[in-house]
Amino acid sequence: MSARPIYFDCDTGVDDALALAYLIASDKAQLRGIGTVSGNTDSATAARNTLDLLQLAGATNVPVAIGERDFMTRSYDGGAPHVHGANGIGNIVLPKSTTEPSAESAVDLLLRLAHEAEGKLHLIAVGPLTNIARALEREPRLPELVDGITIMGGAAEVPGNITPVAEANIANDPEAAAAVFAAGWTVTMVPLDVTMTQVLEAEDRERLAASGTEFEQALAQMLGHYFEFYREIYGRACCAMHDPLAVAVALGDVEITSAPLVRAQVDTTNGPGRGQTICDLRAKYRGYPDQSRANCRPVLGITGDFPSQLTQLLLEPTAQVLS
Ligand code: BDR
Ligand code: CA
C-alpha cells in the first residue's frame, strides 16, 4: 500500500501525541497537515504542543494550523486537566519549537489540502469535530473531495466516558458531530467499544522510556499523568489507546472483526442523551442486512495486541523521518 495522504485533526492531548507519533513513524502515512481544535486543551495550546512534538521528532515540515477555539453552540470552558494535565501533555515541559503555527486556519488548511490531493486525502479526527463541521459549512462538497474520514469518538454499545451515554469528543460538540455524520460520507468511527479494550501497560511505557530518542522519552514521561487517571478505571497504572487506534484503523494496521455499515445519529437535545452516538444496530439480529441510509462504520471488534504493535512501531519506525 502506498503512503496515504493524511490531514490530522487533534486536541493534543496525551493520546493525541501518541497518535501523532504513530503517523510520523509509519511509512503508510504521508502527514500533509495538522489542524488543532479545543478539547483536552484549547486549540492554540494544542497547536503549540503539536509543534513542539514535531520538532522533537524531526518532522518540522508538517504545517500545523490553529483551529476552532469555541464549539458550535458554546464557548470553550477549560479542557480536561485531570486527564491530560494542565498543559494537555501531562504537565511535562517540552523544548519549544522554533516553528510557528501556520498563518492559515485549520479549516483553510484542510480545504486547501483536500483540493491539492485530488480526492486522495484521508481525514483522521481525534478531537471534537468542530473544525470538520466548520469546513463542511464552507464546502458542503468536502465528502466528494476526499478519500474518507476516520474519527475517534462515540460509544455504540457501551457506556460513555463523560455522561452515561456520551464519549468526550462527541460530548464536547454534539452539533459538530451531528453535522459530520449527516454530511453524505461514510464515517469510520473508532468508539470506546474498542478503544477501552486496548490498554498500554507499564512495560510498554518503560520500553519507550528506555529508547535512545528524546521524542519517545518525552512520550513516556507524559504518560505518567495519564496513567494515574486510568488507574481508577483499570486498577493499575496503564491507559486506554483511544486516538492511536483510530490512526491504526485508518492506515489498515489492525484486523477488524466487526464494523457493520449502519445509520448513526448524534443526539443534540439537551436531555440526558446529549452527545450519544445512536448507531442503529437492530439489524444485527439479522446479520446487518439493512444498509439503507447508512452513514457510519462503527468499529466494534478488533483482534491482536495493538498497544504492543504501537510501541514496536514507535521504537522501530518504518518511515524515514525518524531513522
Ligand atoms: C477522547 O477524548 C480525549 O480525552 C482523548 O484524547 C480521546 O480523543 C477519548 O474519549
Ligand atoms: Ca483526542
What pLDDT, on the 0 to 100 scale, is given for residue 1? 59
Q: How far is the CA of 285 from the centre of ligand 1 (A)?
A: 31
pLDDT digits (tens, 9 = 90+) for 139-163: 999 999 999 999 999 999 999 999 9
Residues ≥6 apart with Cβ < 8 Å to 234: 199
Residue to mutate, 126, 151, 226, 241, ligand 1, most ligand atoms under 8 Å from C-beta: 126
- CA 249 to CA 148: how far, in whole Å? 12
- CA 5 to CA 322: how far, in whole Å? 18
pLDDT digits (tens, 9 = 90+) for 65-99: 999 999 999 999 999 999 999 999 999 999 999 99
Q: 170 and 180 in contact (C-beta within 8 Å)?
A: no
Atom of ligand 1 nearest to the CA of 167: 10
Terminal-to-terminal C-alpha distance of the chain: 20
Atom of ligand 1 nearest to the CA of 168: 10
Residue 290's Cβ-count burial label (10 Å; 0-12, 13-18, 19+) is middle
- CA 240 to CA 227: how far, in whole Å? 9
- CA 131 to CA 68: how far, in whole Å? 6
Q: Cβ(109) to ligand 1 under 6 A?
A: no
Atom 10 of ligand 1, nearest CA residue = 168
Atom of ligand 1 nearest to the CA of 11: 6
Residue 315's Cβ-count burial label (10 Å; 0-12, 13-18, 19+) is middle
Using a cut of 0.75, tell me whether the model's pTM lies above it.
yes
- Name the phi and psi angles at 183, rounded to 5: -80, -10
Measuring CA to CA, which residue among 227, 216, 176, 197 is closest to residue 311? 216
Q: What residue ranges of the chain have pLDDT lower than 70?
A: 1, 288-289, 321-323
What pLDDT, on the 0 to 100 scale, is given for residue 2? 84
Q: Cβ(15) to ligand 1 under 6 A?
A: yes
Q: Which amino acid, one-letter code, is at 300?
A: L
pLDDT digits (tens, 9 = 90+) for 310-323: 999 999 999 976 43
pLDDT digits (tens, 9 = 90+) for 221-237: 999 999 999 999 999 99
Kindly report the number of other CB atoms within 10 A of residue 93's CB atom: 10
Residue 320's Cβ-count burial label (10 Å; 0-12, 13-18, 19+) is exposed
Residues ≥6 apart with Cβ < 8 Å to 16: 10, 40, 46, 126, 127, 243
Q: Cβ(16) to ligand 1 under 6 A?
A: yes
Its sign, for the CA torsion 273, 276, 282, 285, is negative
Residues ≥6 apart with Cβ < 8 Å to 117: 5, 32, 146, 147
- Own/partner contacts of 99-102, CB < 8 Å, gap of 24 or more, are 99/51, 99/54, 99/55, 99/60, 99/64, 100/51, 101/44, 101/47, 101/48, 101/51, 101/64, 101/65, 101/66, 102/33, 102/63, 102/64, 102/65, 102/66
What pLDDT, on the 0 to 100 scale, is given for residue 289? 65
Q: Cβ(173) to ligand 1 under 6 A?
A: no
